[in-house]
Structure formats: C-alpha cells, structure tokens
Structure 1
C-alpha cells in the first residue's frame, strides 16, 4: 500500500519547481491541512529542503543526498515499480526481507533497499561484500504470470537492464558474463540473484536481488577479490549518486519488463547477446563428465548458454565451470 508521504512526494515531484497549495494537496489525497504540515516536517527531518509560502503552498527545492524511501520515490517516473519501497540502513540481506514481505502478500513491484548488508549473498550462497553507503543493494518482488520454467529469463532480463544503465549513463564498455555477472574491463561490478517460490504450473512470486559496487575505492575492495572485482567509481574516477542510479535501474527495469510481457523473450535475448562476454570466442568448459574446448555462441530461451564444440555440435550448458580467461592460443 502506497504511504501518504509517498503520495505527497509524487504530487510535489510532478509539479517540478512550482508551488502547490495545501488545499490542492488536501483535496487530492483526502487528508487535512494539519496532516500535510506534519508530513512536510517529517520530510525535512529526512533531509529535504521545503519552501512554504502563505497563499502559494509548498515546493521542494532540494532533496537529500542519502538513500531513503522518500529520496528514491522523489521524481521516480514509474507506474508500478517502487511504489512501495522499504529502506533499511543495515540488514542481513534484502533478499531475506523481500521473501518475508512476499509471503505476506507484498504487491508486485515492491522494492527493498539497504545501505549495508551484513550477510549479502550471490549465487550458490557465495558471500557478497556489501559496504555501507558504497553500493546498490536491493531486491525486487515480482508476481509474473509466466510459467516457472521461464523464470531464468528474468535473470537475463535484469542483466540487460544493468548493462543498459551503466553503458547509457556512464559510457562504459559493459559486458554480461553468463548468467548474471556485469563485467567492466574483465572485472565484476554487479551481480544478480533470482529466487522463486512456485508450484508446478504457477509462480507465487520471484525475488530478484541486485548488488552493484558503486563508490568503493580500490583499497576498499577486499584483498582476495581485488583482481576480480571493480566499482563504478574506480572505472569513472568520480563519486556517483547512488539514489539517481537506483532510480535509473527501476525506470529501465519497468520499461524492459513491460517489453518482455508484451513482446516475449526474443528482444531480451538479442539485447543480452549484444553484451555477451566472450561470445564468439573459444574457451574451455568443464562439466560433470568432460573438459572440452568450445566456442560460446549465445543463450537459449530457457537461459542456457549455447556452446559449439569441436565436432560442430551446439549444446546447452546449464551448469559447469567455464574458463573465462582461457587463452585462445592454447587451442590453436
């Protein structure tokens, strides 16, 4: 359920720099003038600078730099994504909170954001280092009408969203390493964790977790992953506005998700493959049975990686170890 304060944020943000009268807000939201004044005072505590003039009304002239429900919703031009936002300064994992909310009927498009995760995790329960106020740590609750076996498509969709936001906003050469890592200059900057609660023929809900390194300096990345991880600050040389990036991700996600719902997976598949890390190159793939050279060809509709082996056969890879830095010279 969208809060009254969120609705006030929406009303003020759609009026840009113009004043909007207390009476107009009162009529739109069906609350008293005194209630509006109390909400404005709470917004000021959150760091907003609000100008109030007699016979004119209210306007926000400056928003705070910190992440909160209000700062993310201020100017967030989405129809359904992020209308309900839960923000935590510190939590074990946004995924845990999102699962709890989803099981208690939280609506489609609910977003959980944290400044810090103390037990962030990625695929295969690997630890994800989530430093306070240094990155984007969020989870999105979705209730799609697709069949459960198509759920991996949403991981691939999310990867294209993150790649689009980084490339379009920061002009960085961005790649997607199958299935869910965002790569810049051969180093990971972001990852995705998709988890689902479903029956045989129906998805109850999906939680998509996003972790993105934004403002870490090189020395703030743990020593054991410095050779494999990076941040947007390291890549651009400047501190970035985390709130703006979150808004861009949510806006792009909603647009891309609706394209997917209306037109299916082919457009997502094409976009993913345009970012595909080392597609068309030879690598080494270790599965349960064999270790073989193969050329990475793209992705299948079910999210599998397509690899062409030396005998010409193209196989679907669902799990296995891929030597992403395999030297092509070794196969000549």
Structure 2
C-alpha cells in the first residue's frame, strides 16, 4: 500500500493531477490506469528478509499504445513530462510514506486516495469470484467486501473490477 500512496501523491504534487488508488496496487487518473505496482516480500515473525518492488508508471507513452482503460501522464497533461521531476517527487513521497508507516497512519492515507472504497466491485481470485460493495481496507491491506446478504469477506489478493 505504501508504494501506491507514494505514487499517487507524487503525481498529484508534481503534475497537479487527481491520482487515485484502485485496490490492491493500481493508480488511476479519471478512472484509467496510469501505474501498476508489483510487490514481493519474504518475512518471518521477527524480520523482513527482502522486499522486491516494481513500479510501472506510464509517463511519456502515447495512449494509442493502450486500451481505453489506461492513460499516461503525457496524455493527461498533453505534453511530455520530466521523468527526473517524476522520480524526485516519487522518492520524496516514498520517504514520507515510510514515516507514516511507522506511525500507523499509512492506511488512513490510502483510504483518502481510494477510488475503490464504497464502490460495487467484483474480485476475481484463484478459484472464486466475489461481488459486493467495498467498504473498508483492514490493517493487513485486505479489501473488506459486504455481500448482498450483509456478510463480510476480507480479500487479500485478486483482480478488482469496479462495477459502479
């Protein structure tokens, strides 16, 4: 969650675009994906052995290279952007969000930037599909979904499709 908050805030500050978060790891502008994040971690009870983090931001790419569901900073601003400016803004935000992580405030920041919360969603996970309203993110980063019957499910991984 930390990386997605950092990317969204970096884009907002550097380019004055309304970047929002789609659970679990996408950054959107006007509902279209501008960034995807992949994270892999190995940890034990008392320590983190490693974290691999991949951040793919569509910076100066043409929209014709993507579906209608994607965008780039260049397309949104109608001009090429400075990758150096983007990187500097991102590195500053990563440092700020790391500090929030230690203060247990990161989840609050994620919720403020969320494009997923309070929407009807369909989660496609291995072996199942879950449909309902996204009502919360728990302390583990799981999306809490309320079904039509009022039942609550916490989903830790899967592809999230916004239905409304």
TM-score of the aligned structures, taking structure 2 as reference length: 0.88
Superposed, 1:100-179 pairs within 5 Å as 156-179=1-24
Give the SS at the match of 2:24: coil
The counterpart of 1:239, out of the listed 75, 80, 104, is: 80
What is the Cα deviation at residue 174 of structure 1?
1.4
Give the SS at the match of 1:190: strand
What is the Cα deviation at residue 290 of structure 1?
5.5
The whole-number CA distance in structure 2 between the counterparts of 1:286 and 1:209 is: 22
- Structure whose residues are more often helix by fraction: 1
The counterpart of 1:278, out of the listed 113, 116, 122, is: 116
Q: Is the 8 A contact 1:182 1:188 kept in 2?
A: yes
- RMSD (Å), alpha carbons: 2.0
Q: Is the 8 A contact 2:143 2:154 kept in 1?
A: yes
Give the SS at the match of 1:207: strand
What are the Cα deviations for residues 6-32 of structure 1, in whole angstroms up to 9, with x where unaligned? xxxxxxxxxxxxxxxxxxxxxxxxxxx
The whole-number CA distance in structure 1 between the counterparts of 2:122 and 2:44 is: 36
What is the Cα deviation at residue 292 of structure 1?
5.0
The whole-number CA distance in structure 1 between the counterparts of 2:96 and 2:158 is: 33
1:317 maps to: 155
CA separation of 1:159 and 1:320: change in aligned 2, threshold 3 A: closer
1:188 maps to: 33
1:73 maps to: none
Unaligned runs of 5+ in 2: none
Give the SS at the match of 1:244: helix
Q: Is the 8 A contact 1:175 1:276 kept in 2?
A: yes
Q: Is the 8 A contact 1:196 1:207 kept in 2?
A: yes
The whole-number CA distance in structure 1 between the counterparts of 2:41 and 2:128 is: 31
What is the Cα deviation at residue 184 of structure 1?
1.0
What is the Cα deviation at residue 298 of structure 1?
2.2
TM-score of the aligned structures, taking structure 1 as reference length: 0.46
The whole-number CA distance in structure 2 between the counterparts of 1:238 and 1:181 is: 23
The whole-number CA distance in structure 2 between the counterparts of 1:193 and 1:321 is: 13
What is the Cα deviation at residue 241 of structure 1?
0.8
Unaligned runs of 5+ in 1: 1-155
The whole-number CA distance in structure 1 between the counterparts of 2:62 and 2:148 is: 43
What is the Cα deviation at residue 285 of structure 1?
3.8
CA separation of 1:256 and 1:227: change in aligned 2, threshold 3 A: same
1:304 maps to: 142
Q: Which has the higher contact order (CA 8 A, sep 6+)?
A: 2
1:294 maps to: 132
- Structure whose residues are more often strand by fraction: 2
What is the Cα deviation at residue 165 of structure 1?
1.0
What is the Cα deviation at residue 277 of structure 1?
1.6
1:249 maps to: 90
4+ residue stretches of structure 1 with deviation over 6 A? none
